[in-house]
Structure 1
Amino acid sequence: MIRKVAVLGAGVMGAQIAAHLVNARVPVLLFDLAASEGPRNGIALAAIERLKKLKPAPFGTNDDAKYLVAANYDDDLDRLAGCDLVIEAIAERLDWKHGLYEKVAPFLSDTAIFASNTSGLSITALADGFASALKGRFCGVHFFNPPRYMHLVELIPTADTRADIVDALETFLTRALGKGVVRAKDTPNFIANRVGVFSILATITRAAQYGLGFDVVDDLTGSRLGRAKSATFRTADVVGLDTLAHVVKTMQDGLPDDPFAAAYATPALLRALVDNGALGQKSGAGFYRKIGRDIHVLDTAAGGAGAPGAYRAASGKADELVVRILKRPLPERLRLLRESTHPQARFLWAIFRDVFHYVAVHLEAIADGASDVDLALRWGFGWEQGPFEIWQAAGWTQLAGWIAEDIAAGHALSAVPLPRWVTEGPVAERGGVHDASGSYSPARGEFVARSTLPVYARQVFRAPLFGAAPAEDAASDPARYGRTVFENAGARIWTDDADGGDVLVISFRSKMNTIGPEVLEALRKGVELAEAGFDGLLVWQTTSLKAGVPGGPFSAGANLEAAMPLFMTKGAAGVEPFVADFQQTMLRIKYAQVPVVAAISGIALGGGCELALHVARRVAHFESYLGLVEIGVGLVPAGGGLKEAAIAAAETAARYDGKRLLDFLTPRFTAAATAKVSTSAHEARQMGYLQPSDRVVFNVYELLDAGRREVRALAAGDYRPPLPAVRIPVAGRSAIATIRSQLVNMRDGRFISEHDYRVASRIAEVICGGDVEPGTLVDEHWLLALERRAFVELLGTAKTQERIMSLLQGGKPARN
């Protein structure tokens, strides 16, 4: 049991690892050198303050920084005795690390796990000089930057690391911190950086070979290939070109006899950029440079790498012919890329082939099996599929033949042939490295099943691997799993008979899980069915397990597109029945005779947030982003969100003197009027979208299991719905006037537009209960009627219609 952790080193990575441990409610000591001036813990304290300013935010809420305890190596080493896990995260210098280890080792508990967050140094070399007992408790634990958001953690044992220690650490990382753990062998840069950086180097080489600009390459190698939107060179800028150069140098130093050693040479342009201080995003210039509001890209023809004159407007795009090829099914796609004479197509085939070649040659050396490579690239670099998955999906045998032909023709980055296991034996017979029995391990010469540690029993659906299950196998497909009880175009209601069949689950089928008429019908049907013979209903979306990096969306809100036909034929008033239907469905959920629980991950915006507000309980992944954002499209929340805000404020005020209602309404009004979205589940709690009783889950793969457990727990406690809210005190017209006076100042100061003022005024009218005396008692239906009227009135305005059309056509509402 890991109850307390120490992090040694308050630099960028160490401080952010400590912050995420605090997010997970693990007590942390953050160590660094003793300051020569000021407070002795000044260096660590300054690092904690810097964490509050970082974007993306390391903390779920900056208030949590107070839980991070600063310490120093001179005064506080005796406090290490109370730590169950100690993570070293200082600079990548073997001699510095050894010096620190010698200093801290005498203070470690006899049972503490000791780990290094090195990104590529030898774990065995780091353990050199340890007593045998400490060697058995030492390993590598490589977080990816930023640690809060990156799902991957590589776990690297040595030959001396005890198996129970590795299992315990994997369990902690998976369960408490929500990470996807991959075990790597102790080789330079381990798995993800080894393959990912090779891919970047190959991309740089092939881009130069085919004369492609960096902006063109990024347009080709981002989302079009199922990879991170930042693609290749933008990713390098974000990571830091000095960091990239360091990882490349590690490969050069550690792999002199590698058959791909020539490909590890630091590109001259990368060296020039680093030498000129153009380190990427942190220095303001790298492969890209922001000039005003415009993004410019490095133009190698202009010379002077990193100098302002060496950049041009970033406008390069993939050719339409290549775009069409990339939309074809994968086997045809790779064939067309290989056969094409178009330089962009030839470039793409080359980088695919180079990575396939590389991972096949090095699989045995860097990983226990092919699954570790695929998951490492997905979780660490944002690929939707790993390299072996792509190869297998495109046709293993045919691609192996093409790769072998290119190697023989001298087109590859190395003359080393493909290993025999690629074309002979069980892999060739089964058509790839993944099947139902596991993933291929060259070291063992067999397919090896995935880990069976107890922590994975909570993952109903583990991260999928292409080929690991037949296409017709519904048992591994969340969209088809279990027994379907009801379905329509908007949602599927199902239950898992193997798990007792006592909980109904509803999963939406709409784009971004938006809520339209079919989803509303399914929600009402789900409540009806649950009341007739189940413990309760769980709202859980299969998109929480999306390919690549998991998580969300729960729901992007009401389906405005589905309401447009009503609007076009009957005007704004024609949409009122849809709004009323939405409201009544929310009430049906709130007052259901069995518990309805929402399992939330990713965005829960607008109507999605309102759905979450009406359920009996919420189970939220830490990375959950809730908010009432309707003002962005010129509307008010009309699914009961403002009604619930008014009720919550009244209940809170009643616990005090009952006279400060406006004080408790104001934060909720502000959140809706500014479309504020929580940056984490912890902040959602502060904003009132989650309650203290709602559970926060860190591993998104456990969300379904946690949700079903919550339904069962409520049912076992003889759940009863709340009594209808029939006497709600509202703030009335005086509070509306107070809020409007502040809005006038914002409008006249040009902080908000005239239409923003109009919409925000309507939000104030609803949340304050309308034009009534302060303290007037109303019921839920009164507040819902105010929501509906405001919604329909605003929908009839030209400005709101402009915003909605802009959203539907271009993905963003107009700012008018």
Structure 2
Amino acid sequence: MSQLLIRKVAVLGAGVMGAQIAAHLVNAGVDTVLFDLPAKEGPANGVVDKAIANLGKLSPAPLASKSLAAAITPANYDQHLELLRGCDLVIEAIAERMDWKKALYGKIAPYLAPHAILASNTSGLSINGLADVLPEELHSRFCGVHFFNPPRYMHLAELIPCRKTDRQVLEGLETFLVTTLGKGVVYAKDTPNFIGNRIGVFSILSTLHHTAESGLGFDEVDALTGPLLGRPKSATYRTSDVVGLDTMAHVVKTMADTLPDDPWHAYFKTPAWMQALIDKGALGQKAGAGIYVKKGKDILVLDLGKQDYRPASGQADPGVVEILKLKDPVEKFARLRAGEHPQARFLWALFRDLFHYSAYHLDSIADTARDVDLAIRWGYGWSLGPFETWQAAGWKQLAEWIAEDIVAGKAMAQVPLPDWVFDGRDGVHAAQGSFSPTRGELLPRSNLAVYNRQRFPDPVLGERANPGETVFEDDSVRMWHDGDGIAVLGFKTKMNTVSDGVLAGIQKAVDIAERDFRGLVLWQAKEPFSAGADLSGALASLQAGKLAEFEAMVKTFQATSQRIKYALVPVVAAVRGMALGGGCEFQMHSARAVLALESYIGLVEAGVGLLPAGGGLKEIAVRASAAAGPGGDVFAVLKPWFEAVAMAKVSGSALEAKELKLARESDVVVFNAYELLHVAKAQARALAESGYRPPLPARRAQVAGDVGIATFRMMLENMLEGRFISEHDYEIGKRIATVLCGGEVDRGSLVDEDWLLALEREHFIALAQMPKTQERIMHTLKTGKPLRN
């Protein structure tokens, strides 16, 4: 099959979704044109210009680097339709009005290239209905692509074919979505709200219904339906406020209008209390008030009994919390069903009706149960989908209990569960695939070539990938391989922190890799890459007065970073999530880093009263010398680095890490985190194939010296006088400057790496002994937050 080539994309509609889809396309390096109506006043592109400018103000940030806003080409339908002729993909993302979308299609169709794909980002309108207005020759190149909001961060993209969509078009587009944009693609049938919103919105409607039935408060329900159930902190009602109550009402109305025969149709309505909030403009977070409102520092929640707001203090009952924390899901559900507490009864009813609805509609909305579970996990942030939850809790017993409740009139709808639920099965997921009611069998995952890049795809219950052949394993690390000449090392500590065991494990792995492999990849099975050094262990040594032991640990840390840098085989760091402190230093010393887009990288030691001492400051000094060149201005090069370290800056993306110089321009950015290991191994292999040799030791690094230190101290003194920093911040900053500038030597002096490493150790140990630093460390360990003292 010929590859689908997408050089340029047009996005139609510069609203919330359209502008953010355009932002994510330019994140991925895709040439993008953003269209909207011409402005009624001022420049014709005013609507789009305003939308692009707003991208830099949104949180979470749609752009991986604010500079990328300039890469989006603004356009309007009156003047620039000719630009569509050069686009390979056109994504329509205007308001959810069938008539508006059809009218726009009629306008743009004559300008589309003969090979171009047209995709609608509708969240629930009929794809076949939209296709009706298109010329016949476009039907094979038309489909739905539903991104979830915010499109940069939400993994899910639903792909919805129309009756005549060409299979090659779909597979090409799927490959583009998966690798270029980093999405998890689920095929949905052309039914209202598709899969994610069909099940997800029903879950919200069910929660609304059972909240009213149980008499629980909105804050009480949020305490139950968030992390305790493996769902986002915003739970149900806070999520509704974030989404917007008017948006929620619109989605519910869409379900009511388009699903008149759904057995649960009676519940597809906006509650009177929600409509009252909408009518008075209390639309949620965007309006400053909704179900919740903030008054000063206090969070208030709507109390329907009082018809007013009250302090949000609702909590999960301790007995119910005890049930929810049970590790055995079978026992957990048995106790929920038998529970007498209103919260237990509420939760049983919530799960019962979710399972009932999902099973009843599976055949009509999706090809397999896997599609439903992944859609809900990727689109709504649940740790388990509905079918996974049901299967883990004992399929047969739960099916019997659900059926009993249906017969007893306790369920929201009285339709029976499908026959396949009772055919003797123990669930819908197994190692060989997931159940398809249409086919009546288990279907494996897609065999599309793009998925060969995912060594460990996101598994559903019952799936287990081959873990590879273990080289060695202890309590801190595991080294393994696939027989391809590239070894992989992962950490086993909490948050993948760097302990003595991890340091020893890295050094041992490098030794083995040099002897038996062509390369080594540092990769973690779960995020983060590393939250940095094990502060608790370091603090214990200090408080016990074991200064020699503490200094030896710092020396070992530095030696490990150097071992990574000077290994005779390429060591590649595969980073996703946080790479803080020592984690950042390891990737700085690697032959190459492969970074997932969502990599949050920083030398953050200043936040706990320390400075980087795993070779990070040494490495910056060496790089600054190389960047300045012989006789160049090293200080000017160092300045942005100093600010990043002294202020403990953390990148908001892999692209920002490059801007902060904490990652190199040569480091690779990967958009799909599940492809990270594949790309990292490919990079290690390519370096090895190219005759890799480690860099020569930096024996003559030019430093900024005493003049540089004095200049940095002036900057710090100004900040101290302006009360932007504390006395201890000043002390930390002064010592960071001293190391970065190579110590109190003449400007332009030449030093080697050992000199710089010794400076790191000296100032790190001095700071570590200070009471205020130890206060910061203890506060961070206790609260997870930095202390300003």
TM range (shorter): over 0.9
Structure 2: unaligned runs, 5 residues or longer: none
CA distance in 1 between counterparts of 2:634 and 2:221 reads 56
| Rounded Cα–Cα distance in structure 1 between residues aligned with 2:680 and 2:284 | 42
Q: How many angstroms apart in 1 are the aligned matches of 2:94 and 2:499?
A: 52
What secondary structure sits across from 1:301 in the alignment? coil
- For 1:294 and 1:153, the matched residues in 2 are separated by 37
Deviation at 1:572, TM superposition (A): 4.8
Q: Paired residue for 2:699?
A: 726
**Which of the residues 525, 533, 538 maps onto 1:563?**
538
Query: 429, 438, 441: which one pairs with 1:434?
Result: 429
Matches within 5 A, 1:289-368: 289-303=293-307, 310-328=308-326, 329-368=328-367
- What code does the residue aligned with 1:285 have? A
Using the TM superposition, give the Cα deviation of residue 736 of structure 1 relative to its aligned residue in structure 2, in angstroms. Answer: 1.4
Q: 1:734: Cα distance to partner?
A: 1.8
Provide the residue aligned with 2:495 in structure 1: 512
1:649 matched to 2:632? The reply is no
SS at match of 2:544: helix
Which amino acid is the alignment partner of residue 377 of structure 2? Answer: R
1:450 aligns with 2:445: yes
Q: Write the deviation string for residues 142-171 of structure 1: whole angstroms up to 9, x where unpaired.
A: 001110000000111111211111111111
Task: Show the counterpart of 2:392.
Answer: 393
Amino acid at match of 2:518: D
What amino acid is aligned across from residue 649 of structure 1 in structure 2?
Answer: A
Structure 1 CA distance, aligned partners of 2:120 and 2:76?
18
Equivalents in 2 of 1:573, 1:351: separation in Å?
58
Is the 1:567–1:573 Cα contact (8 Å) retained in structure 2? no
Matched residue SS, 1:492: strand
CA distance in 2, matches of 1:626, 1:759: 20
1:808 and 1:730 map into 2 onto residues whose CA distance is 35
Measured against aligned partners, the alpha-carbon deviations of 1:602-648 in whole angstroms (never above 9, x if no partner) come to: 11011100011000001111111110011111111111111111111
Q: Does 1:153 align with 2:136?
A: no
1:208, distance to aligned residue in structure 2 (A)? 2.0
- CA–CA separation in structure 1 for the residues paired with 2:323 and 2:545: 43
| Paired position in structure 1 for 2:290 | 286
1:754-793 to 2 correspondences below 5 Å: 754-793=727-766
2:539–2:774 CA contact under 8 A, matched in 1: no
Paired residue secondary structure (2:262)? coil
Q: Which residue of 1 aligns with 2:716?
A: 743
In the alignment, is the contact (CA less than 8 A) between 2:28 and 2:671 conserved in 1?
Answer: yes
Question: In 2, Cα distance between the equivalents of 1:797 and 1:176?
Answer: 48
The C-alpha deviation readout for 1:251-304, integer Å capped at 9, x for no partner, is 00001110011121211222122112111111111122222233222222331x
The alpha carbon displacement at 1:701 in A equals: 0.8
C-alpha contact 2:93 2:122 (8 A) present in aligned 1: yes
For residue 514 of structure 2, what is the aligned residue in structure 1? 531
| Alignment equivalent of 1:687, drawn from 644, 660, 684 | 660
Instruction: Give the letter for the 1:159 counterpart.
Output: R
Moved more, 277-286 or 25-34: 277-286
Any conservation in 2 of the 1:183–1:367 contact (CA below 8 Å)? yes
Partner Cα separation in structure 1 for residue 369 and residue 323 of structure 2 = 28
Query: In 1, distance between residues paired with 2:295 and 2:499?
Result: 42
CA deviation after TM superposition for structure 1 residue 777, in Å: 1.3
Which segment drifts farther, 755-764 or 10-19?
755-764
Alpha-carbon distance in structure 1 between the residues aligned to 2:295 and 2:695: 56
Counterpart code for 2:253: K
Alignment match of 2:560 (pick from 585, 589, 606): 585
Shift of 1:111: 1.1
Residues 1:811 and 2:784 aligned together: yes
Contact residue 105 and residue 133 of structure 2 kept, 8 A? no
- Structure 1 stretch displaced more, 98-107 or 567-576: 567-576
Q: CA deviation at 1:29?
A: 0.7
Aligned to 1:485: 471
The letter for the 2-side match of 1:417 is: P
Which one of 644, 661, 669 corresponds to residue 696 of structure 1? 669
Which of 53, 62, 69 is 1:65 aligned to?
A: 69
What do residues 587-607 of structure 1 show as CA deviations (whole Å, max 9, x unaligned)? 111011110000111110111
Tell me how far apart the structure 1 counterparts of residues 548 and 747 of structure 2 sit (CA, whole Å). 30
Q: What is the CA–CA distance in structure 2 between the aligned matches of 1:77 and 1:238, rounded to whole Å?
A: 35
Paired with 1:687 and 1:89, the residues of 2 have a C-alpha distance of: 34
* 1:571, distance to aligned residue in structure 2 (A): 4.6
Q: Is the 8 A contact 1:184 1:366 kept in 2?
A: yes
Structure 1: tracts of 5 or more residues without a match: 304-309, 470-475, 544-551
The CA deviation at 1:39 is: 2.2
> What residue is the counterpart of 1:376 in the other structure?
375
- Which of 130, 143, 148 in structure 2 is aligned with 1:139? 143
CA distance in 1, matches of 2:785, 2:589: 28
* Secondary structure, aligned partner of 1:278: coil
Q: CA RMSD in A?
A: 1.2
Q: Deviations over 1:346-386 (max 9, x none)?
A: 11111111111110111011111100000000000001110
Q: Determine if contact 1:572/1:793 at 8 Å carries over to the other structure.
A: no
Conserved 8 A contact 2:578-2:600: yes
User: How far is 1:570 from its partner?
Assistant: 2.4
Counterpart CA distance in 2 for 1:737 and 1:668 is 16
State the partner residue of 2:58: 54
What is the identity percentage for the equivalent residue pairs of Structure 1 and Structure 2? 60
CA displacement, residues 298-320 of structure 1 (integer Å, 9 cap, x when unaligned): 222331xxxxxx32222222111
Separation in 1, partners of 2:746, 2:673: 47
Q: Deviation of residue 451 (structure 1)?
A: 1.0
Aligned to 2:194: 190
Q: Following the alignment from structure 1 to structure 2, what is the Cα–Cα distance between the partners of residues 578 and 509?
A: 19
Determine the C-alpha separation between the residues in 2 that align with 1:625 and 1:319: 36
Query: Please, which moves more after superposition, 35-44 or 484-493?
Result: 35-44
Q: Distance in 2 between matches of 1:158 and 1:583?
A: 58
Q: How far apart are residue 573 of structure 1 and its match?
A: 5.0
2:573 and 2:590 in contact (8 A); partners too: yes
The answer on whether the counterparts of 2:539 and 2:777 sit within 8 Å (CA) in structure 1 is: no
Residue in 2 that maps onto 1:627: 602
Cα distance in 2 for residues equivalent to 1:314 and 1:766: 49
2:185 partner amino acid: V
Q: Look up the match of 1:464.
A: 459
Q: Is the 8 A contact 1:202 1:351 kept in 2?
A: yes
Q: Name the SS for the 1:485 alignment partner.
A: strand
SS of alignment partner, residue 302 of structure 1? coil
Tell me the amino acid that sits aligned with residue 537 of structure 2: A
8 Å CA contact 1:573, 1:792 repeated in 2: no
Q: AA paired with 1:178?
A: G
Correspondence 1:4 to 2:3: no
C-alpha distance in 1 between matches for 2:286 and 2:175: 34
Supply the AA of the counterpart residue of 2:422: T
3-state SS of the aligned residue for 1:298? strand
- Note if contact 2:85-2:111 (Cα within 8 Å) is conserved in structure 1: yes
CA distance in 1, matches of 2:475, 2:159: 43
Return the letter of the residue paired with 1:377. Answer: I
Q: Distance in 2 between matches of 1:314 and 1:734?
A: 56
Cα distance in 2 for residues equivalent to 1:415 and 1:436: 33
Among candidates 612, 632, 635, match of residue 662 of structure 1: 635
Range moving further from structure 2, 63-72 or 211-220: 211-220
Question: In 1, distance between residues paired with 2:441 and 2:521?
Answer: 40
1:674-706, CA deviations, whole angstroms, 9 ceiling, x for partnerless residues?
111111111111111221211111111111110
The TM-score with structure 1 as length reference comes to: 0.95
Question: 1:111 corresponds to which letter in structure 2?
Answer: H
Alpha-carbon separation, structure 1, partners of 2:581 and 2:333: 41
Specify the alignment match of 2:481 in structure 1. 495
CA distance in 2, matches of 1:490, 1:562: 14
